[in-house]
Structure 1
Amino acid sequence: MQATDHLTFFKPEQSLHEGALLIDTGISAGFPSTTEDIVGEKISLDDTLVRNKDTTFYAKVRGQSMINAGLNHDDLLVIDRSLEPADKKIAVCYIDGEFTVKRLRVQNNEIWLQPENPNYPIINITEDNDFMIWGIVTNVIKKV
């Protein structure tokens, strides 16, 4: 585990757990369905959410700069470092000694880090910045 002011990183560990039961029929958000309809198989969230185990990390979100993208404080991000960055992807970036999560905006050979909260400024990346796109967010795990 590695902590920064904005993100706390975790490396996925191989689980010996067989997984949890997947209810493949869907859960009704309308009229309730009977328990007789529940048939499932065991799944592992690691197997479902992690495509590349050697290049995937988890990180907890700190702050509110991405709330309009559905990323809230303490949400758990799944980040794949092997994926190619692209315009409009949500990325974990290293800038001037700090990690941050923002939406990438790439146009005319320029890069901006766009927050998804109007109370935070857009960051224009210049050659003066110590900058690296660290990984691409593939999933978010939320607590309810």
Structure 2
Amino acid sequence: MGHAQAVPLFASFVRAGFPSPAEDYIEGSLDLNRHLIRHPAATFIVRVEGESMTGAGIFPGDLLVVDRSVEPRDGHVVIAAVGGELTVKRLRGRPGAWRLVAEHPDFPPIVLDGDADDPSAAVWGVVTSAVRRLAGGG
């Protein structure tokens, strides 16, 4: 993962309404690698392309932190291999009867397990975090 760089973590909350006087208190430092990545050997990051998960707050260009050590469950957002490509969708159902469901009405569900057309289709990992650049460099 490279060199870890801790950044300050302020103890006060940021208001999304009218501003209030800021408190000059730093709670400590936050190492984003340690905060976002629980199992480094089982974790990878992918960049989102497409609009199928905008209803879940996942947008094109977002970086998704994916942990392969987390057991996929109904309701998890997952990365799955389907038709030789990776896709991000919400997992619905149960083992042996999984469906990949988009969070956008223009995209139909995908049956994952038992799909005779694509026996290699499988969940690759569970999305644990999303990172989005709001402003600034590239």
TM-score (norm 1): 0.83
Runs of 4+ displaced beyond 6 Å: none
In structure 1, C-alpha distance between the alignment counterparts of 2:4 and 2:131, rounded to whole Å? 20
Distance 1:28 1:132, change over 3 A: same
Structure 1 residues 86-97: aligned runs within 5 Å: 86-97=73-84
Structure 1 residues 29-108: aligned runs within 5 Å: 29-35=16-22, 37-40=23-26, 41-107=28-94
**Alignment-mate amino acid for residue 14 of structure 1:** G
In structure 2, C-alpha distance between the alignment counterparts of 1:29 and 1:103, rounded to whole Å? 28
Mind listing any 5+ residue stretches in structure 1 that lack a counterpart? 1-12
Q: Percent identical across equivalent pairs?
A: 35
CA distances 1:11-30 after superposition (whole Å, capped 9, x unpaired): xx13232x111111111233
Distance 1:108 1:51, change over 3 A: closer
- Please state whether the residue corresponding to 1:54 is helix, strand or coil: helix
In structure 2, C-alpha distance between the alignment counterparts of 1:108 and 1:26, rounded to whole Å? 40
Q: Do 2:4 and 2:31's aligned partners in 1 also have CA atoms closer than 8 Å? A: no
CA RMSD between the two structures: 1.6
Structure 1 residues 130-141: aligned runs within 5 Å: 130-141=120-131
**Alignment-mate amino acid for residue 4 of structure 2:** L
The answer on 1:15 being equivalent to 2:8 is no
CA distances 1:41-96 after superposition (whole Å, capped 9, x unpaired): 21111111111111111111000000001100001101000000111111000112
Distance 1:53 1:107, change over 3 A: closer
TM-score (norm 2): 0.86
**Alignment-mate amino acid for residue 25 of structure 2:** V
Match of 1:127 among 110, 116, 122: 116
- Residues matched between the structures, number: 130
Per mean C-alpha deviation after superposition, the further-off stretch among 38-47 and 56-65 is: 38-47
Q: Do 2:73 and 2:94's aligned partners in 1 also have CA atoms closer than 8 Å? A: no
Mind listing any 5+ residue stretches in structure 2 that lack a counterpart? none
